[in-house]
């Protein structure tokens, strides 16, 4: 297989919209049958031509889901591009599902903090060995090193890694999910949390993912041949039942008549397509919340990618704004007041660390008479209502959603 898209060290990837668009255009010819037949193979960090590796850009909406689907359908018929398009919708399914059940994110945070705070010396040593690639399980150790060094893992490797972490090494799943979120350049609270829950057997009751040695050997082209995995593990169970889906939270709509300042978060770095009139803004600020991903240190690569993506977004809307790192509510009030704004507008912020931070500063804004308005993208508004149960409901709607969102040529 040819490596069509050269992959430099992930920590040096340019975090710009222009780079994301260039990578998308380069991979578009391979979003059809090539992707469908080769996508499950993890051939190593220097051979990523079978997958797009666009996830760090889509994660921050340097390029949007619509753009990725449109790129595939511009070159391939819907049948040939089906697998690629489904993968894009999977990401939105996870986000929508968590929006309908925000308490699952809160439960993850509580479980993570409890697990980190209650580790005895034996467990702490086992977790350190896993994170540093010293378990003696060659494939697992290689993936741990790759994750820390590059900020990326193939999707199949993420499933294998999580399964080995949970069922063979018997480590707390929340600590593994935290390890991923601290290091993945595309670390998404919904995809990451729910992906780990799915592997553990907590997302779909009784259905878990037990990594098999033969499967790893086949889909790594015999790079690894693990023989010491727990392949017959039972799924994890939790006392609390799955919460029922409820409507996505209400939010304040953007009012174009009010003096407005724009807040760009690392959740959405494409403000020029968001909707508000950028020429009428009183001020612009970026806010970086990478450190809010975990109580433990977040990788330098993640922080650097976020910083660069936000700087690129700022430049595309004219520059001259303020860059902030998870400011307190009082700091936002001072910034908006100096700008003469009574409304701060931002892209809709879904469940995760940035939402948690935003919830913490909203009271200060309200006390100062400053409204926080959000703009929800058409994509989320169209997809999320179908993301209340299993993925099948979303999958079934893909042809209609593609048509509604005008994604086909």
Asked if residue 247 is part of any domain, the answer here is: no
Residues paired with residue 346 on neighbouring β-strands, in sequence order = 374
Q: Give the model confidence (pLDDT) of 18-52 as tens digits.
A: 999 999 999 999 999 999 999 999 999 989 999 99
In the prediction, which pLDDT does 12 show? 67
Asked if residue 128 is part of any domain, the answer here is: yes
In the prediction, which pLDDT does 205 show? 81
Q: CA nearest 183: which of 214, 147, 216?
A: 147
CA atoms of 245 and 94, how far apart (whole Å):
13
Task: With a cut of 50, list the residues of the chain below it in pLDDT.
Answer: 1-8, 10-11
**In terms of domains, do 125 and 167 share one?**
yes
**In terms of domains, do 194 and 144 share one?**
yes
Q: Give the model confidence (pLDDT) of 201-260 as tens digits.
A: 999 887 999 999 999 999 999 999 999 999 999 999 987 778 999 999 999 999 999 999
- Residue 345 phi/psi, 5-degree rounding, is -115, 140
CA atoms of 105 and 98, how far apart (whole Å):
7
In the prediction, which pLDDT does 6 show? 40
**In terms of domains, do 114 and 164 share one?**
yes
Structure tokens at 270: 């494409």
CATH number at residue 332: 3.40.50.620
**In terms of domains, do 264 and 201 share one?**
no
Provide the terminal-to-terminal Cα distance of the chain, rounded to the nearest Å: 29
In the prediction, which pLDDT does 8 show? 44
Q: Describe the chain by its helix, strand, coil percentages, rounded to 5.
A: 55, 5, 40
Domain count, the chain: 3
Dihedral over Cα of 88, 249, 184, 230: its sign? negative
Structure tokens at 226: 């693990």
CATH number at residue 201: 1.10.579.10
- Where among 168, 193, 219 does a domain terminate? 219
* Domain that residue 121 falls in: 108-219
CATH number at residue 16: 1.25.40
By three-state DSSP, how is residue 253 classified? coil
**In terms of domains, do 279 and 341 share one?**
yes
**In terms of domains, do 197 and 268 share one?**
no
Asked if residue 122 is part of any domain, the answer here is: yes
Q: CA nearest 75: which of 36, 40, 27, 38?
A: 27
By three-state DSSP, how is residue 205 classified? coil
In the prediction, which pLDDT does 2 show? 37
């Amino acid at each position: 297989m040819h490596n069509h898209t050269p992959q430099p060290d992930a920590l040096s990837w340019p975090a710009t919209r222009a780079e994301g668009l260039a990578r998308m255009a380069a991979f578009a010819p391979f979003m059809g049958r090539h992707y469908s037949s080769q996508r499950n193979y993890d051939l190593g960090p220097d051979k990523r031509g079978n997958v797009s590796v666009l996830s760090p850009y889509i994660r921050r909406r340097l390029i949007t889901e619509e753009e990725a689907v449109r790129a595939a359908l511009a070159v391939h018929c819907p049948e040939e591009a089906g697998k690629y398009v489904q993968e894009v919708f999977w990401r939105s399914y996870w986000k929508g599902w968590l929006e309908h059940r925000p308490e699952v994110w809160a439960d993850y945070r509580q479980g993570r903090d409890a697990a980190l705070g209650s580790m005895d010396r034996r467990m702490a040593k086992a977790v350190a060995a896993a994170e540093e690639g010293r378990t003696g399980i060659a494939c697992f150790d290689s993936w741990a090193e790759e994750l820390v060094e590059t900020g990326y893992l193939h999707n199949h490797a993420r499933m294998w890694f999580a399964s080995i972490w949970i069922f063979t090494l018997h480590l707390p799943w929340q600590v593994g999910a935290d390890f991923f979120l601290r290091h993945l350049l595309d670390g998404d609270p919904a995809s990451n949390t729910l992906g780990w829950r799915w592997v553990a057997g907590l997302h779909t009751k009784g259905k878990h993912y037990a990594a098999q040695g033969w499967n790893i050997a086949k889909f790594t082209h015999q790079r690894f041949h693990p023989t010491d995995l727990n392949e017959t593990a039972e799924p994890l169970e939790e006392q609390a039942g799955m919460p029922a889906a409820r409507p996505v939270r209400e939010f304040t709509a953007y009012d174009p008549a009010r003096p407005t300042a724009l807040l760009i978060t690392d959740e959405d770095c494409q403000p020029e397509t968001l909707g508000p009139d950028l020429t009428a803004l009183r001020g612009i600020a970026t806010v970086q919340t990478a450190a809010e991903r975990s109580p433990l240190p977040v990788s330098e690569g993640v922080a650097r990618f976020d910083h660069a993506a936000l700087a690129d977004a700022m430049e595309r809307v004219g520059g001259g704004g303020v860059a902030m790192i998870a400011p307190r509510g009082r700091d936002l009030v001072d910034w908006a007041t100096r700008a003469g704004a009574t409304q701060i507008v931002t892209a809709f912020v879904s469940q995760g660390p940035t939402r948690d931070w935003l919830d913490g500063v909203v009271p200060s804004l309200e006390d100062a008479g400053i409204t926080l308005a959000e703009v929800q993208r058409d994509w989320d508004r169209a997809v999320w209502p179908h993301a209340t149960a299993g993925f099948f409901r979303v999958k079934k709607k893909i042809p209609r959603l593609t048509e509604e969102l005008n994604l086909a040529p």
